[in-house]
Structure 1
């Protein structure tokens, strides 16, 4: 288990992490979310003792990272896939890590096979693609067979097969009772992988809850209706005390409505429905709503002036 208590990190006047308190528990994948600049990477670095907190405390199974003997046997982490000696082969990179932590050489072969790099084990890492580097970094995290694993953007550079593989790997590790803490900006992947999430914004804790509860609390659920007898249906729904929102696309929406109740009302009045579907916001929708005021860097879609076409020609030409 990873435990943070009042964790704070200042860089001069800048507060990167502000009084964070939460625990990452075993047996479930915990997603770590936040906008750019929220303090996620700084928090992960403090967990691993790479940065020291200004105030507060962080413990790994009750101990500070620098008090762990052979730390790779306690916690494995992927923070930067490029953090390796490019002149070493994949095998030798892992062998150096293994020897520094009292891990048998045979384990190097095992993790290379797990991540699918056995065929290129003797090739130098500097020739690896970004995705292969990610796999090598994941192999390093798995090397000590640790009870705690921490991944920062683990699907970066991976192809669809690789994304599917790492998703299932993280789930299987959690199912074994391990602690799995993963940071990612890919909301679709987090929704498929994590059962619990921790959300921070501008260094502060915004949410520490189950995935289902987070989406329910921070999003809008409604029933969408399409009906050729629109006016009749509106009269029936209003008569039943149901508030309806009319959208510009020709559909009707009932906030928090029960589709079975609406369907029964329509059937009782012989009203034809073309669509009656409950709608639930995605993790991305819920995340955007919660963190709207915590986004530090905003992009703007500026439309270039026609005369500023980069190729010097007519802006309207295809």
Structure 2
């Protein structure tokens, strides 16, 4: 279990993490989401004792990271897959980690096999592809057989087979009762993987809830209906007090989760339906809605923003020439 209480990190005037309090529980996969610059990486670094908090506290199974003896046997983490000496082979990189943490040599071969790197175990890491580097980083996280796993962008660089593998690996680890904490910008993958979500923006906690509740609370659900007897269907729905919005392609939309009610009304009035489909926003749409005010870096579609109109650009050019 990972417990954060009022965790805060300031860099001068910049508040990177602002009074974060939440718990990452065992037995489930907890997704850690937030826009770029939200403070996710800083939070993970403080969990591992790589950065020291300005205020607040973070504990791993009730203890600070620097109080853990042989920490790889408590928590395994992948924060930066490139943090490997390029002149070492995959095997010797893991062997060095094992020997410094009191882990048996046999475990190195086991994790190399788990992540699919046995065939390249003696090759130097500097020749690895991005995906192979990710697998080596995951092997390092698994090396101590820890009860807590923490991954930052674990699918980065992996091919479809590798993404499927890491997804099932994380689910298997959670099913064993381990704590799994994973950060990713791939919303479609997070939707398939995480059970619980912690969402932050500009260093502040925005949500700490289940995946289903998060999407329900931050999205618009409706039912799409199509029928060749459109006018009769409209009369029936209006008669039942149901508000209908006409959409494109001859379809109708009804707010809320009323699919069963609409189906029953159609059956009672012998109406043919060509479509009756509940629609709910994706995790990505719900995330974008919640974090809209917390995005630090905004892109646009190429249309000049107010600050980029000709006069503003001319002033910018003048300022640039002046240095």
Same fold (TM over 0.5): yes
Distance of 1:257 and 1:21 partners within structure 2 = 33
Partner of 1:152: 152
Moved more, 226-235 or 93-102: 226-235
The total of aligned residue pairs comes to 304
Quick one: distance in 1 between partners of 2:217 and 2:69?
A: 42
Looking at structure 1, the residues matched to 111 and 176 of structure 2 have their Cα atoms a distance apart, in angstroms, of 17
Structure 2 CA distance for aligned equivalents of residues 70 and 257 of structure 1:
51
Structure-2 residue corresponding to 1:75: 75
1:195 matches 2:200: no
Aligned to 1:114: 114
> In structure 1, what is the equivalent of residue 166 of structure 2?
166
- Secondary structure of residue in 1 paired with 2:250: coil
Pairing 1:1-318 to 2, within 5 Å after superposition? 1-302=1-302
- How far residue 234 of structure 1 moved from its aligned partner, in angstroms, is 1.3
Question: What secondary structure sits across from 2:289 in the alignment?
Answer: helix
**SS of corresponding position for 1:87:** coil
Distance 2:71 2:121 in 1: 24
Shift of 1:268: 2.7
Q: Distance in 1 between matches of 2:65 and 2:270?
A: 68
Hey, which of these two has a bigger chunk of helix by percent?
Answer: 2
Cα deviation, residue 278, structure 1: 1.1
Q: What's the RMSD between the two structures over aligned residues?
A: 1.2
Q: Secondary structure at the match of 2:157?
A: coil
State the distance in 1 between where 2:132 and 2:303 align. 38
Consecutive aligned runs of 4 or more in structure 1 exceeding 4 Å deviation: none
Tell me, in whole angstroms, the C-alpha distance in 2 between the residues paired with 1:267 and 1:177: 47
1:39 deviates by 0.5
Separation (CA, whole Å) in 1 of partners of 2:107 and 2:145? 9
Cα distance in 2 for residues equivalent to 1:250 and 1:66: 63
Aligned residue for 2:146, secondary structure, equals coil
User: In structure 1, what is the Cα distance between the partners aligned to 2:292 and 2:249?
Assistant: 26
Deviation at residue 303 of structure 1 after TM alignment: 5.8
Q: Which runs of 5+ in 2 are unaligned?
A: 305-323
1:220 Cα deviation after fit = 1.4
